[in-house]
Amino acid sequence: MSHGTVRVRFAPAPTGMMHLGNIRTALMNALYAKRHNGTFVLRIEDTDADRNYDPKAIQISEDLQWLGLHYQEGPIIGGPHAPYFQSERTKLYQEKLIELDDSGKIYRCFCTEQELERKRERQRALKLPPRYDRTCLHKSQEEIKTLLAKNTPFVWRLNIDQSRIVTIHDLAGKSFTYAMRPSIDQSYIVTIHDLARKSVTFDMQHFSDFPLTRQDGSFTFLFANCVDDIDMEITHVFRGEEHLSNTACQAALYEAFGKPLPVFWHMPLLCNPDGKKLSKRDFGFSLRDLREAGFLPQAILNYLAIIGGSYQNEIMDFGELVKSVNLDDLHATGKITYDVDKFQWVNRKWIEKLSPEALFDVCLPYLAPLLHERQHPLPQPVRTQLISALQVIKPELNTLDKCAGLLDYLFFAPTDVKTKALTCMNESELKAAAPALAPHLDLFEKPDTITDALKKIAADAKVPLKHIYWFIRLAITGRNTGASMHELIAIVGVDEAKKRVQQLVAKLDSI
């Protein structure tokens, strides 16, 4: 493996929907590969067949495509290291297991899970770290043959070499030591390199000879993951903070194969405002939630790239993020806070960038329930009306799903307007505004001059102008805020505007 050519990988398990943590990992890999003219690999870790939600990784590929994260090797498009599904790579894992067996670096462990748990309980009672005691490492060949003849189930464990020292290099060319030499207390040290933490040291007395297989013959995550990274020549591994402890085991596997370690970045966890790891209970955790709420793909990538950092210009497309997000100069932190308000602000900024036609296109799915009785494609007048109306509410959209609620008045006259009016204005204010406005509804036919006309009406009737405005908006939209008078009338049409105001005036007669 050469560290001269950057090769990164995104290796999700297809056991559920894509979530924010997945997206951020994929994004950082894609940004790093692009910044260094490297290769972004998609690999699917699908060995848990019972939990496979997306067996062929079709949804994962579509999600990455929608987000604009394009991999250069992986499912569908193929590549020189195919196949890219772990379930199809069993032959390679078997070959690599035999390689370790031939070199005497692994051994069979016949201990049952019940026996292992009893040993762990005893160790915990003695306040010792619970780890495998290497019982089976010392079995004779005769004992092993006898157990095999009885078809006794077993797993393969790595016999960690405690006598070697391996030196590797980080991105800046600095060296550090990966040491597995016994110390006075018979423990040994493993040091890896992490982009943010620089040298990370593990006291290996807290780690045991870990299993590479399960009793059914399948391969563990640690083993398959390491074999794949070596085979695919992965130079940099970006993954969550929660994987930091098992990196020591992976380092031991790399040493057993005689391969140089990749450079790591254990990415800080995304946490909610309470400091707890983000979960499906938190808004926007899954990509499906974000898409349904109306977050744009550009905004999702933008927010996840800048979260936890400081940037003079925070609104950036992928190309700008490649230049601005410097993963070669990171600072270690265990977690960063997911801020929904900031996320929505970023999304609103991206919505603001959309052209009128583009805004219409992305909002149309959310408007579809209002349009279900209309013909498709939409008649041009309806399309033009919606495009104009969306421009009016554009400043209010921090997520696209709000457009239907803000524009429902285009399709249906507001219901129970009188009750809504009384929540904004008291009876005396309503009774004063209605008669002042009722004789002058013809002014709706001249929307460009309506503002001046309404000012005169308010002054003559000694009614606050804002009450006149509220009355008209409530009658037309059911809300007391929104578009300017001339925009509102232009959107719904003069006749419909007059009709709705007249209806509210009539309803007020019963107050």
The domain spans of the chain are 7-91, 106-232, 413-508
Select the more confidently predicted residue: 260 or 64: 64
Architecture in CATH of 106-232 = Alpha-Beta Complex (3.90)
Which of these, 99, 101, 39, lies nearest to 72 by C-alpha position?
39
pLDDT, tens digit (0-9, with 9 covering 90-100), for 215-231: 999 999 999 999 999 99
Q: What is the spatial distance between Cα 301 and Cα 323, in angstroms, rounded to a whole number?
A: 14
Q: What average pLDDT does the segment 3-14 reach? A: 87
- By residue count, the chain amounts to 511
Lowest mean pLDDT among 156-160, 218-222, 412-416, 426-430: 426-430
Query: Residue 142: is its pLDDT beyond 90?
Result: yes
Q: What is the spatial distance between Cα 485 and Cα 491, in angstroms, rounded to a whole number?
A: 10
Per-residue CA distances from 102 to 99, 200, 395, 464 (Å): 5, 31, 68, 92
The phi and psi torsions of 109 (rounded to 5 degrees) equal -120, 120
pLDDT score recorded for residue 4 = 62
Instruction: Determine contact, residues 167/176, Cβ cutoff 8 Å.
Output: yes
pTM of the predicted model, to two decimals?
A: 0.86
- Domain 413-508 class? mainly alpha
- Confidence band of 166 (pLDDT split at 50, 70, 90): very low
pLDDT score recorded for residue 6 = 95
Query: Residue 75: is its pLDDT beyond 60?
Result: yes
Q: For residue 304, what are its two tokens?
A: 């996840």
Q: Rounded mean pLDDT of the chain?
A: 84
Instruction: Determine contact, residues 188/164, Cβ cutoff 8 Å.
Output: no
Q: C-alpha 18: how far from its chain's center? A: 7
Query: Residue 73: is its pLDDT beyond 50?
Result: yes
pLDDT score recorded for residue 448 = 79
pLDDT score recorded for residue 165 = 40
- Domain 7-91 class? alpha beta
Residue 437, judged by CB atoms within 10 A of its CB (0-12, 13-18, 19+), counts as buried
DSSP 3-state of 307:
coil
